[in-house]
Structure 1
Amino acid sequence: MARILIAGESWMTTSTHVKGVDEFSVHSYVEGVGPLRDALTASGHEVVHLPAHLVPTDFPGTADALSAYDLVVLSDIGANSIQLAPAVFEHSRPGHDRLAALRDWVESGGALLMIGGYLSFSGFQARAAFRQTPIADVLPVLMLPEDDRVECPAGVRPAVVDAEHPVVHGTGGDWPLLLGYNRVVAKENAQVPVRVGADPLVAVADYGRGRAGAFTSDCSPHWAPPAFCEEWPGYGRLFDGLVRWLVRQ
């Protein structure tokens, strides 16, 4: 069993309702972590979810704080939310370089997984902005300097190119369609058991004494439709396989 911190996978939405000459705004809070959290807990792992709005204040900033976990998952949460704690951003006081701390923790034996989304890797209009952070050294993939989203509204079929790799073993060769992903380039030392077209979908590699992985599509809608994240038995096996490889179980 691994103890896992998932940062991100939540958002707030605002809608404006116009009725004749009157209008009002409605706000809602949504979490997309459910399929991933449920799959990991069903596999015996312990999951702590840090919603996106709490990341600026509560993301671990030191090796001691990170050592409470075996694996840190960043999912649809941009670099700014991790780097710009309120003391730094609002009060101009020096604080922890939390992405550097995360890099050093992985190098010393920790584990990191980045899952795709509009605020992962480079992301929508490159706003995820991880490419020029310390995490770029850790990930098994190179990030693009521009908007890296590949939208596939008709669906794209993942191709398992190494069915015996422990990350994907037992998931089968016929994966459901995905509706998009972040385009990245595998580093030379990366293992890439699954691709979408010529691009990596699943990539893993050692980093120092630790390990890092990338799943370049989403773990929940919209890029991961219900057929992938709710109905496919391989979903839980895939993410359990990633966890176990990354934390060397």
Structure 2
Amino acid sequence: MSRVLIAGESWVTQSTHIKGVDSFTTSSYVVGVEPLRRALEGRGHQVTHLPAHLAPAQFPGDAAALAEYDVVVLSDIGANSLQLAPEVFERARRGADRLEALRGWVGEGGGLLMIGGYLSFTGFEAKAAFRNTVLHEVLPVELLPEDDRVELPAGARAEVADAAHPALGGVDGAWPHLLGYNRVRPRAGAEVLATLNADPLVAVGAYGSGRSAVFTSDCSPHWAPEPFCEEWDGYAEVFGGLVEWLAG
């Protein structure tokens, strides 16, 4: 059993309804982590979910806090939400450099997985911005300086390069279609285990005494439609394999 922290995979949606000359606004809170949580818990892992709106105040800030986990997963949450704690952003006080702490933790033996989304890697309008942080060097891929999203509305299937690698969990056969991903470049020395549209989809590598991995598409809609994240047995094998490989 591994102890897994998943940060991100939640959002608040606000809608404006206009009815003639009148209008009103409604808000909703959406959690996208459930397919991933179920897959990992079904393989015996202990999962803690830190929603995106709580991450600025609660993301682990030092090695002692990170030591509570074996693997940290960042999914659809930008660098600002991890770097800018309330005391820094709202009160202009010095605080912990949490991405530096995360880099050091991986270098000492931790496992880091980044999953794609509009606020992963470089992201929508480059707002995820991990390329500008110390965490970039930990990843097994090089990030682009511009908006890196690739939308595939007709869908595309993964091409597996190394089905025997343990990080893929023994998944077999064709993968269901995916509807998009973040474009990245392979880093020298890393292993690209699967591609999408000829770009890295799953890549793994070592960083110091630790390990890092990426899955550049999503773990939930819209890039991961239901046939991928709800109906395919291979979903749990892939993400379970990644977490188990990262945990060593």
Number of the residue aligned with 1:72: 72
SS of equivalent residue, structure 1 residue 103: helix
Contact 1:159 1:173 in 2 (8 A): no
Deviations 1:165-197 (A, max 9, x none): 111242113000000000000111111111113
Number of the residue aligned with 2:121: 121
Number of the residue aligned with 2:140: 140
Number of the residue aligned with 2:237: 237
User: Unmatched 5+ residue regions in structure 1?
Assistant: none
Q: 1:87 to 1:169 in 2, by over 3 A?
A: closer
User: Unmatched 5+ residue regions in structure 2?
Assistant: none
1:203 equivalenced with 2:200 (yes/no): no
Q: Which runs of 4+ in 1 moved over 4 A?
A: none
Contact 1:77 1:128 in 2 (8 A): yes
Distance 1:69 1:169 in 2: 21
Deviations 1:200-244 (A, max 9, x none): 000000100000000000000000000000000000000110011
Deviations 1:150-170 (A, max 9, x none): 000000110011111111242
Number of the residue aligned with 2:107: 107
1:16 equivalenced with 2:16 (yes/no): yes
Residue identity opposite 1:222 in structure 2: H
User: For residues 162-201 of structure 1, what are the structure 2 equivalents within 5 Å?
Assistant: 162-201=162-201
Distance 1:7 1:154 in 2: 29
Deviations 1:94-138 (A, max 9, x none): 000000000000000111000000000000010000001011010
Residue identity opposite 2:200 in structure 1: P
Distance 2:205 2:129 in 1: 21
Number of the residue aligned with 2:98: 98
SS of equivalent residue, structure 1 residue 213: strand
Contact 1:83 1:98 in 2 (8 A): yes
SS of equivalent residue, structure 2 residue 48: strand
Number of the residue aligned with 1:47: 47
Identical counterparts, % of pairs: 65
Contact 2:76 2:116 in 1 (8 A): yes
Distance 2:169 2:244 in 1: 12
SS of equivalent residue, structure 1 residue 125: helix
Residue identity opposite 2:64 in structure 1: D
Contact 2:35 2:220 in 1 (8 A): yes
Contact 1:75 1:116 in 2 (8 A): yes
SS of equivalent residue, structure 2 residue 236: helix
Q: 1:221 to 1:240 in 2, by over 3 A?
A: same
SS of equivalent residue, structure 2 residue 53: helix
Residue identity opposite 2:231 in structure 1: E
Number of the residue aligned with 1:57: 57
Contact 1:163 1:173 in 2 (8 A): no
Distance 1:163 1:81 in 2: 35
Distance 1:150 1:112 in 2: 23
Deviations 1:1-32 (A, max 9, x none): 10000000000000011112211000000000
SS of equivalent residue, structure 1 residue 131: helix
Distance 2:112 2:161 in 1: 23
Number of the residue aligned with 1:246: 246
Distance 1:76 1:179 in 2: 16
TM-score, structure 1 normalization: 0.98
Distance 1:104 1:168 in 2: 26
Distance 2:162 2:60 in 1: 35
How many residue pairs get matched?
248
SS of equivalent residue, structure 1 residue 77: coil
